[in-house]
Amino acid sequence: MGEQATTKFPPDVVEEYAGLGIDLPALFSAGDLGERMGVKVTEASAERVVGTMPVEGNTQPYGLLHGGASAVLAETLGSVGAMLHGGPHKIAVGVDLNCTHHRGLRSGLVTGVATPVHRGRSSATYEIVISDEQDRRVCSARLTCMLRPVAPGGQTA
């Protein structure tokens, strides 16, 4: 997960996780699926998560960016935001993902920006806007995550 080493975290997040022995870039990365798709999380805080994904390699049979690829980028970014909102003692579990696709792309890089719509004690909802390199909106998404306590040993309660 060395690709994720360039993720920018605010100092308060680094401090919050410092004594826990947690690899922040690995925990708040794109995961195995996202890595296979070329997703890179470049900025991460509970207030804003930014990431990129190449169109090439993530297309459907017609050569257009696959809607499911946009959904993977959206869920990745929204989940990272929800996890950071929940803090080290909670885990975010996605319960609803809604994506509206506005424009097709055949090449280039898309950028997603996740911002909170609601941040509560037991749930968090993020809006994710995915844009092309000309800053045209490609997809609008919304992700709601349930925030579950982490029990001793790292399992959700």
Q: Which of 16, 75, 127, 133 is catalytic?
A: 75
10 Å Cβ neighbour count for 154?
A: 7
Intra-chain end-to-end CA distance of the chain, in Å: 27
- By the 8 A CB rule, do 96 and 62 touch? no
Task: Tell me if residue 16 is catalytic.
Answer: no
- At residue 59's C-alpha, the angle toward residues 54 and 62, to 5°, is 145
Cβ pair 38, 74 in contact under 8 A: no
Q: Which two tokens stand for residue 43?
A: 């900025």
Burial 82-103 (b: 16+ CB within 10 A, else e): bbbbbeeebbbeeeebebebee
Q: Which distant-in-sequence residues (6+ apart) come within 8 Å of 3 by Cβ?
A: 35, 40
User: Could you give the residue numbers annotated as active site?
Assistant: 75
